[in-house]
Amino acid sequence: MTAQQQNPYLADAKTRRANNRIGCLHHHAFMVKDMEETRHFYEDILGLPLIGTWVERVNPVTGQPDNYVHTFFEMADGSCLAFFQFKSETSSREASINKFENNNPFGHHIALTVDGKDAVLEFKRKLSEQGIEAVETDHGYCYSIYFHDPSGLQVELTSSVPETDELMSEAYKTAHETLSLWMQEDDVPTNNTMRGAGWQQ
């Protein structure tokens, strides 16, 4: 018996995704203050190999001569996290959306998948050994830790849970209706009843 025969929610998702012309994430880019510090964090601690370093001498935004580097760190599916740093510290800071301060996760964060809650907790242990605080969150439909990289980007490592496929399949059926209701009403109760203790209001 195939995984799809065992789990009808996966079959639903496969059918839906087959009609999507946009594939996987190619890369997510972020300005950093120190590229070597960034390399150490993503390659040595999180295990994403540096697969490309591109030196550029023209700023495509201004069209003027400039000097910056663009790096790519590869994930398991071939997509990448990418980062920029200008030779000019002032240019890097001016282009940074968070001025290298720890950003609020509601403003911007990136979530990356790992395989299982044990993997989430193993990364939390590894980060702790490096003096990096990671906060656990039980979202109900996934389990995550949150932490900041050296330039203040909030990173989430998250794993599906046994209920993920069913919960997301059910949420898909009412996603538009729920959004419309929330846009019109001021006090819509939560529909995420599977969140960890302390989250439901």
pTM: 0.90
Mean pLDDT of 73-84: 97
- Which pLDDT belongs to residue 196? 85
Tokens of 140: 């109900």
Confidence of residue 149 (pLDDT cuts 50, 70, 90): very high
- Which pLDDT belongs to residue 39? 98
- Which pLDDT belongs to residue 198? 56
Apex CA 189: angle with CA 188 and CA 195, to 5°?
Answer: 135
Asked if the model's pLDDT at residue 200 lies above 70, the reply is: no
- Which pLDDT belongs to residue 199? 57
Asked if the model's pLDDT at residue 197 lies above 80, the reply is: no
The whole-chain average pLDDT of the chain stands at: 92
Higher pLDDT, 79 or 14: 79
Higher pLDDT, 46 or 20: 46
Mean pLDDT of 159-184: 94
Which of the given ranges, 11-15, 73-77, 188-192, has the highest pLDDT on average?
73-77
**Number of residues that this document lists for the chain:** 201
Asked if the model's pLDDT at residue 60 lies above 50, the reply is: yes
Tokens of 160: 């599906």
Mean pLDDT of 13-40: 94
- Which pLDDT belongs to residue 201? 44
Distance CA 127, CA 49 (A): 17
Q: Quote the strand ranges of the chain, DSSP E.
A: 27-31, 50-58, 65-74, 80-86, 109-113, 135-138, 142-148, 154-160
Percent of residues, the chain, with pLDDT higher than 70: 95
Cβ-based neighbours of 181, under 8 Å, separated by 6 or more: 188
Q: What DSSP element (H or E) covers 173?
A: helix 164-184
Distances from the Cα of 85 to the Cα of 42, 75, 139, 168, angstroms: 15, 21, 34, 38
Q: What is the DSSP letter of 101?
A: S
Q: Convert the pLDDT of each residue in 108-126 to its tens digit.
A: 999 999 999 999 999 999 9
Asked if the model's pLDDT at residue 7 lies above 90, the reply is: no
- Which pLDDT belongs to residue 12? 81
**CB neighbourhood size of 153 (10 A):** 26
